[in-house]
Structure 1
Amino acid sequence: MAAERDVEQMPDWSAYRGVLIVVEQRDGKAKAVSWQLLGEGRKLAAKLEVPLYALVMGSDVEHLAHEAAAYGADKVFLCDSPVLKTYRTRPYSRVVLKLIEEAKPEIVLFGATATGRDLAGAIGTHLPTGLTADTTELDVEPPPSRLLLASRPAFSEKMMATILCKQYRPQMATARAGVFEALPRDDSREAVIERLECELQEEEIAARVLDFIEETGHVNLEEAEVIVAGGRGLGGPEPFAMLKELADALGGKVGASRAAVDAGWIKHEHQVGQTGTTVRPKLYFAIGISGAVQHTVGMSHSDVVVAINRDPEAPIFQFAHYGIVGDLFQIVPALTEEARKRRGVTVG
Structure 2
Amino acid sequence: MAALVIAEHDNASIKGATLNTVTAAKACGGEVHVLVAGQDAGAAARAAAQIAGVSKVIHADGAQFAHGLAENLAAQVLAIAGNYSHILFPATASGKNTAPRVAAKLDVGQVSDITKVDSPDTFERPIYAGNAIATVQSQDKVKVITVRTTGFDAAPATGGSAPVETAQAVGDSGKSRFVGQEIAKSDRPELTAAKVIVSGGRALGSAEKFNEVMTPLADKLGAALGASRAAVDAGYAPNDWQVGQTGKIVAPQLYVAAGISGAIQHLAGMKDSKVIVAINKDPEAPIFSVADYGLEADLFQAVPELVKAL
TM range (shorter): 0.7 to 0.9
**Counterpart secondary structure, 1:121:** helix
Aligned to 1:212: 181
Q: Is the 8 Å Cα contact of residues 246 and 336 (structure 1) preserved in structure 2?
A: yes
Matched residue, 1:138: 116
Q: 1:173 aligned to 2:148?
A: no
Query: How many residues were matched structurally?
Result: 307
| Structure 1: distance between partners of 2:22 and 2:180 | 31
1:283-294 equivalent positions in 2, closer than 5 A: 283-294=254-265
Given the alignment of the two structures, is residue 329 of structure 1 paired with residue 288 of structure 2, yes or no? no
Give yes or no for contact 2:199–2:226 (8 Å, CA) kept in 1: yes
Q: Which runs of 5+ in 1 are unaligned?
A: 1-16, 340-348
Match among 3, 9, 12 for residue 25 of structure 1: 9
Instruction: Percent identity, please.
Output: 33
Instruction: Provide closer, same or farther for how the CA distance between residues 236 and 21 of structure 1 changes in structure 2, counting only shifts above 3 A.
Output: same
Structure 2 unaligned regions, length at least 5: none
Runs ≥4 residues deviating over 6 A: 216-219
* CA distance in structure 2 between the aligned counterparts of 1:56 and 1:209, rounded to whole angstroms: 19
Deviations 1:157-204 (A, max 9, x none): 6644444332x221112233444320233x33222433312143x6x7
Map 1:160-309 → 2, pairs under 5 A = 160-166=133-139, 168-185=140-157, 187-200=158-171, 205=174, 207-209=176-178, 211-215=180-184, 220-234=190-204, 239-241=209-211, 242-261=213-232, 265-309=236-280
Instruction: Give, in angstroms, the shift of residue 39 of structure 1.
Output: 2.0
Partner in structure 2 of residue 77 of structure 1: 57
Which of the numbers 119, 131, 135 marks the counterpart of 2:98? Answer: 119
| Contact 2:33/2:58, CA 8 A, preserved across alignment | no
CA shift at 1:215, angstroms?
4.6
TM-score normalised by L of structure 2:
0.83
Q: Distance in 2 between matches of 1:229 and 1:173?
A: 30
Q: Does 1:56 align with 2:33?
A: no
Contact 2:277 2:293 in 1 (8 A): yes
- Higher Cα Rg, which structure: 1
Q: Secondary structure at the residue paired with 2:146?
A: strand
Asked if 2 retains the 8 angstrom alpha-carbon contact of 1:74 and 1:191, the reply is: yes
The residue matched to 2:28 in structure 1 has which SS? Answer: helix
Alpha-carbon RMSD across the aligned residues, in angstroms, is: 3.1
Q: What is the rounded CA distance, in whole Å, between the counterparts of 2:206 and 2:132 in structure 1?
A: 30
1:44 aligns with 2:28: yes
Could you tell me which residue of structure 1 aligns to residue 125 of structure 2?
A: 151
The whole-number CA distance in structure 2 between the counterparts of 1:159 and 1:234 is: 31
TM-score, length-scaled by structure 1: 0.75
Tell me, yes or no, if the aligned pair for 1:136 and 1:175 is still in contact at 8 Å: yes
